[in-house]
Every structure is written in C-alpha cells, then in structure tokens.
Structure 1
Amino acid sequence: MQKPHCLGLRMRRVITFGTFDLFHYGHLQILKRAREFGEYLIVGVSSDSLNFAKKNRYPIYTQTERRDIIESIKYVNYVFIEESLELKRQYCLQYKVDILVMGDDWRGKFDSLKDICDVIYLPRTPSISTTQLIEKIRI
C-alpha cells in the first residue's frame, strides 16, 4: 500500500511544543504519542528566553542543544525554536497543522485554536518531570 504523500494526498500534520530540558522518558512518550495522530510531526522547542520568562530559570541545555536532541528522535520530522507562547496560533497556521497535541497540564489553555485545528491534550507520563529530576539531582 502506498503512503498518502505518494498518492498526492496531504499528510496529517501534528504540532507539539515543549522545553525538553534534561530529555527523559516522558518527553519520548509525548513525541511518540503525538506522532501517532499524523504522518508528520513538527516540534516547537522553547527558546532559552521563553523558558526564563515561564520558569524564572534558564534550561540546563541551550536551545540549540535541545533542538539537536529533538531533531534526532525518529518520530520527529521538523523542529523550530518557539519564541513566545502567544504565537501558538501563528505557528499552527504557518506550518499548516491539522492537530495540536499538548500535555494535559495545559488542558483548556489552547481550546481557542480549535477553529483552525484539532486540539488534543494527552496525559503526562506518571511520576516523571524535568523539575523532579533537577530536584533529585540536587539531593
């Protein structure tokens, strides 16, 4: 059976966003699960300045290092640097996405984008987060 893009049909494009600092199993799972909703996965990696604005700290790894890590994941087709949370609509339109996938800790925050794409909130992988890893390392 031929893939949709071989038949001239447009592939379903999925987008997700994250900081992806101290890459861990939960990050891998959200990328894998997001990709299951389409054939082309686009990932916005939060810029260092955006991360500082959100969390009042810079990531352990630079945005370039984090982008390179995400680009190496087999589920990911394209990676860009996300400069602002307020640009989600622009990014979805720019990349012509069909589906926005986010962790359920963002539930409801991007429902306003449902007029341009489907919005899916996935449960986080239990008992793991970058913040928890940083606290564990500090001990």
Structure 2
Amino acid sequence: MKKVLTYGTYDLLHYGHMELLRRAKELGDTLYVGLSTDEFNSSKNKVSYFNFEQRKQMLKGVKYVDFIFEENDWEQKARDIEQYDIDILVMGSDWEGKFDYLSGLCEVIYLPRTEGVSSTKIKEILQADQND
C-alpha cells in the first residue's frame, strides 16, 4: 500500500487544490495532508480567510483526502515522513527543488500547478471588487 503526503494551507478551497489532491491521490492508495496551522501561517506572514478548523472541515469533505494532521513548522516534514511511513511526498511545482533533500526518505514529486487559479489571485479579485 503506497502512502502519499502533501502539505498546504488550502484556504479558499478551489479547483486548483482539487486537481493537486486528485493527482496526488492517483499516485498511491492513501493521501495524507499536512494542513498549515494558523500560527504557522502567521510566522510566514500569511493570513487565511478561513481558520484552521474551518479549513480542516473543508478538506474532510474532499474524497481524495484520507488523513489530515497539523503542519506546525518547516522542519517537521522529515519526522512526518518517518512517522506515517510515507512513500511519496507531493508538492506543487512552485516548490520545485526545495524538498529534494527529503528524497533519501521517500520519493519526491512536484506536480504542475493548475493554470489560471490560485488563492492569491482569488483574494486579489475579491479585494478589487470591494474597492469598486
């Protein structure tokens, strides 16, 4: 049984997120998602529209996701891979090369982002609409 792991904030859950989760799940049997906590996002100067529990509830409704846990810091990835006996780490192509150091623990795959959609872009559009 192959276990796949990915990480993210998954704020304003959208088609691009669904595509990443779908393609990640296709690589194995079980998909684990490390969901960034509000505190971790804050340390990255990132503000989510939905809080951690709300984002977790949304992810629970996604049929591709089998297990969700907290992502609290950058350094936990190696521990998570070992703890959950992960076979494949999947990240978006915008992270290309940044997690290659984990390839001794599992296979690392970078999937292309879905063109034309991102949480940042959605937030910018919503903000522009408020300013009109």
The reply on whether 1:117 has 2:123 as its aligned counterpart is no
Deviations 1:43-93 (A, max 9, x none): 011000111122x13211011111111111111110011001111111111
* Percent identical: 45
Distance (whole Å) between structure 1 residues aligned to residue 41 and residue 83 of structure 2: 22
CA deviation after TM superposition for structure 1 residue 124, in Å: 0.3
Q: Residue 18 of structure 2: which of 22, 28, 43 is its match?
A: 28
Gap runs ≥5 in structure 1:
1-10
Normalised TM-score (structure 1):
0.90
Distance (whole Å) between structure 2 residues aligned to residue 85 and residue 27 of structure 1: 20
Give the corresponding residue for 1:126: 115
Q: Number of aligned pairs?
A: 128
Gap runs ≥5 in structure 2:
none
The reply on whether 1:108 has 2:97 as its aligned counterpart is yes
Give the corresponding residue for 2:83: 94
After TM superposition, the runs of 4+ consecutive aligned structure 1 residues lying more than 2 A away are: none
Q: Residue 53 of structure 1: which of 43, 48, 51 is its match?
A: 43
Q: Residue 42 of structure 1: which of 9, 13, 32 is its match?
A: 32
Q: CA RMSD in A?
A: 0.7
Normalised TM-score (structure 2):
0.94
Secondary structure of 1:121's aligned partner: strand
Distance (whole Å) between structure 2 residues aligned to residue 28 and residue 13 of structure 1: 18
